[in-house]
A and B are shown apart, each in its own frame.
Chain A
Amino acid sequence: MTYTKRFDGRAFDEMRKIEAKVGVVPNADGSAFFSFGDTKAIAAVYGPRTLHPQHLKNPQKGVLRCYYDMISFSVTERKKPGPSRRSSEISFVTSQALSEVVQLNNFPNSVIDVFITIIQADASTRCAGINAASMALAHAGIPMTGLVSAVSVGNIGGNITVDMIKEEEDYEEDGEKYATDTPMAFLPDGRISLLQLDGKTSPEMLKKAIEAGRKACVKITDIQKKTLKSLEAEK
């Protein structure tokens, strides 16, 4: 195991520089920008509004519908525009990650649409997207019990590595892929609303990764809150 120093010199528990903004899409009811270093996401919220098609309407509570998409030139090799199997799945898990905090029972028969667009990708795009979406929902004035924060935690040959860049995700030793990628999202009460994993890790190391992710997400929530509050001050 020779990966003892990170490519960009960060400490293993250190996230990239985070930038957060709200109100980046004037047409939307709420919007936000969130970046981890070179990974940049925009989220825009439209709604609550009438849900079409009709048969998806739920008379008990509203529906939170998320759409995740990467623009074609957000990655090195052009991505074919439009939805893919990957983006459909990410959209689906993003909705699940966010739904618990949104008080959907206030909006029967309605939908809240969240459009997430990745404008530049350097790993962790779904997490940046969730962070932006969570802020955009708050910015839209949707009643929520709290903010959701997400981060991706890697395990590179036994080193728990918070917020990996693409180069780390693809890290190889002896021609073998080495990094395990674990995107996760937390609610303010500490419950976990997104958990995915790709790679190879023991249950014990996964527990450690989750702990590291939880710590990082506390910091992210702080930044999200500060950004939303600074908007209040501007008004």
Chain B
Amino acid sequence: MEVTELTKRRIIEYLNEGKRFDERGLRDFRKITVETGISKNAEGSARVIIGKTEVLAGVKMAMGEPYTDSPDSGTMMVSVELSPIASQKFELGPPKIESIELARIVDRGIRESGFIDFSKLCVKKGEAVWTIFIDIYPINHDGNLIDASALAAIAALKTAVFPEYDKETNKVKYGEFSTKKLPLADENMPLTTTFYKIGNKIVLDPIVEEEETAEARLSIAVSKPKKKEVMINAIQKGGYTPLTDAELDEILDYVPKIWDEINDALNKSLEASEKHKKKK
């Protein structure tokens, strides 16, 4: 389902009048729903729904060897599977650049923020450390997979617990879970927002037609240590069109607002999902 030139032109004309197809403001997100614990076999898992975009994320833990340059740190691996289930655009086969880039944007936001205390994932220095696998599966792609994936990864991490393991052989007992949570520094929690340049407007949370029309994007992972100053932890510019200084300033001036916005949506949604579970 390719977006026609006609549709793209219409989207730009509309945006120039400050309007969007679904009547949102340029910086409005669609409704964000976060649900956790969607797989009983995962150490942590989450489903994020933004409008019609749906993404699943799961955390699995394994015991592995540390990297030689950081013998007392655990490791993390983020992967994204862009399966044809989610969009006509996706094909079977080995990971293409779109999924590699998406995984690396999510990875860098988490890694650079200090959200995970990797030093607490060391079991035996130089020999055995925990590896956190974060696997992300879009189920329906209706735009803004980057932000949805990053949020799903965070939600899955927040709910994850260590599996049991044999302390003599360091073998993981899969399917047996401890009650011990992952070593997360909540005050460093990163949230990722992607700004899209469409025509001469900067737009948040595009639907797929808007995303295809965008000439450039800027993904920014932000944390808010001690709930005070906003810190940028990772940036990725995408798309073949450069950004002007004015556009960049417009984005950077908006950055301080985004953490609170998404954090509120995340917390509200998590509370609602807890209540729902209790009712059951």
Chain A residues within CB distance 8 Å of chain B: 77, 85-86, 88-89, 91-93, 95-96, 99-100, 182, 187, 190-203, 206-207, 210
Contact = CB atoms under 8 A, between A and B. Distances in A.
A38 to B, nearest CB: 19
Residue among A92, A195, A207 with the highest chain B CB neighbour number at 10 A: A195
B82 to A, nearest CB: 14
Given A199-B112, A201-B232, A202-B230, A77 B69 contact: yes
A96 B237 contact: yes
A105 B230 CA distance: 42
Contacts of B223: 200
A195 B218 contact: yes
A195 B69 contact: no
A86 B235 CA distance: 15
Interface in B87-124: 95, 97, 100-101, 103-104, 108, 112-114
A191 B104 CA distance: 25
Contacts of B239: 96
Contacts of B95: 85
Given A89-B101, A198-B112, A206-B232, A191 B243 contact: yes
Interface in B38-93: 68-69
A205 to B, nearest CB: 9
Label chain A's interface by main secondary structure: mixed
Contact of B252 (A89, A190, A206): A206
Given A192-B237, A203-B232, A203-B252, A89 B242 contact: no
B236 interface: yes
A45 B233 CA distance: 34
23 contacts: A85-B95, A89-B101, A89-B104, A96-B240, A99-B240, A192-B243, A192-B244, A195-B218, A196-B235, A197-B234, A198-B108, A198-B233, A198-B234, A199-B112, A200-B112, A200-B223, A200-B233, A201-B232, A202-B231, A203-B256, A206-B252, A207-B249, A210-B248
Contacts of B267: none
A200 B113 contact: yes
Interface residues of B, number: 37
A92 B97 contact: yes
Contacts of A192: 237, 242-245, 248
Nearest to B98: A92
A235 B248 CA distance: 42
A193 B215 CA distance: 12
A63 to B, nearest CB: 11
A200 B232 contact: yes
B255 interface: yes
A98 B235 CA distance: 19
B2 interface: no
Given A191-B244, A192-B243, A89 B232 contact: no
A141 B223 CA distance: 46
A88 B114 CA distance: 25
A88 B243 contact: no
Interface in B153-181: none
A85 B256 CA distance: 31
A197 B232 contact: yes
B98 to A, nearest CB: 9
A93 B237 contact: yes
A85 B104 contact: yes
Contact of A89 (B97, B233, B243, B248): B97
B23 interface: no
A93 B236 CA distance: 9
A93 B218 CA distance: 12
Contact of A195 (B104, B229, B235, B255): B235
Nearest to A85: B100
B238 interface: yes
Nearest to A176: B114
Nearest to B78: A85
B7 interface: no
Given A192-B237, A195-B237, A203-B230, 20 more contacts: A88-B97, A92-B97, A93-B236, A93-B237, A100-B242, A187-B242, A190-B244, A192-B242, A192-B244, A195-B243, A197-B233, A197-B235, A198-B112, A199-B112, A200-B113, A200-B223, A200-B231, A200-B233, A203-B252, A206-B232
B17 interface: no
B16 interface: no
B22 interface: no
